[in-house]
A and B are shown apart, each in its own frame.
Chain A
Amino acid sequence: MSQSSADTRPRAAASAVRMKRAGRDAPLSPHLSIWRWTPVNTTSILHRATGIANAAGATLLAAWLACGAIGEGAYDVATAILGSPIGLLILFAFTLSVIYHMTNGIRHLIWDSGHMIGKAGRGTSAYAVYGIALVLTILVWIAAFTLAGA
């Protein structure tokens, strides 16, 4: 892991010093716009984004179960929509979202137990989360299509 990619210090820090010297106000507080995006700190905003996406996925799960409960007609409509190319794309996105959120969520739980909180652990585990989430999602879909073909 390169040192620089784990460095999430505000980009504006240096310029803030310069501005102060020039007699201007420094920025009030760290804000979204002055953080440099790195693979490591991106895991955090992705956790939030996938959490929100998962909420949409939970709505879909509820709708799917409801269609099954309503009857055969509603169930067949749901299956047809989910099995269409767009439906499959949406399901693929939800698979990636929930698996990413779960993997990174486990990372959060490990942190909460007081482990892996050094700089090195934080960086290495970020790449591990990306890799594991991607591989597991692809495996799930290989399994899905293999079963469908069988």
Chain B
Amino acid sequence: MASKATNHFVMQRLTAMIQVPLVIWLIIAVVGHARDTHAEFLAWVSSPLTAILLVVLILSISYHLRLGLGEVVDDYVHEKKRLKTGQTLVSLYALAVGAVALFSVIAITLIA
């Protein structure tokens, strides 16, 4: 694989490209499901197409936001130790958001 910086650049853009159609889909879908009852919500999330699109979007977003927030931390935190801590916090945050969202979709798919 190329250098770490190149990998970062490529993945930031790859996730960006994946997200364009998926975010447009999500906005339209959420507008359509804003008034759902709980039963309707479960039926929607657990339909195969919705579930798979959500899973791909969640994975892409959590990677994209880890790289993106990591870059922000890189720019403003200069002390080495603090920078490391900042990067770790960003990674944990991205992991937590991704894990909760992913687990929820899986759980809904299994219970619905």
Contacts and interface: CB of A to CB of B under 8 A. Distances in A.
Given A54-B65, A76-B38, A65 B45 contact: yes
Given A62-B101, A65-B45, A68-B104, A52 B72 contact: yes
Contact of A58 (B17, B34, B97): B97
Interface residues of B, number: 35
Interface in A8-51: 48, 51
| Secondary structure of the B contact surface, majority rule | helix
B34 to A, nearest CB: 6
Contacts of B98: 62
Interface in A102-120: 102, 105-106, 108-109, 112
Contacts of B27: 95, 98-99, 140
Contacts of B58: 62
A65 B68 contact: no
B13 A112 contact: yes
Q: How big is chain A's contact interface, by range?
A: 20 to 34
A147 interface: yes
Interface of A: 48, 51-52, 54-55, 58-59, 61-63, 65-66, 68-69, 71-72, 75-76, 82-83, 95, 98-99, 102, 105-106, 108-109, 112, 140, 143-144, 147-148
24 contacts: A48-B72, A51-B68, A51-B72, A52-B72, A54-B65, A55-B65, A55-B69, A62-B100, A62-B104, A65-B108, A68-B42, A68-B108, A69-B103, A69-B105, A69-B107, A72-B38, A75-B38, A98-B27, A102-B19, A102-B24, A105-B19, A109-B16, A109-B17, A144-B34
Interface of B: 13, 16-17, 19-20, 23-24, 27, 31-32, 34-35, 38, 41-42, 45, 54, 58, 61-62, 65, 68-69, 72, 93, 97-98, 100-101, 103-105, 107-108, 111
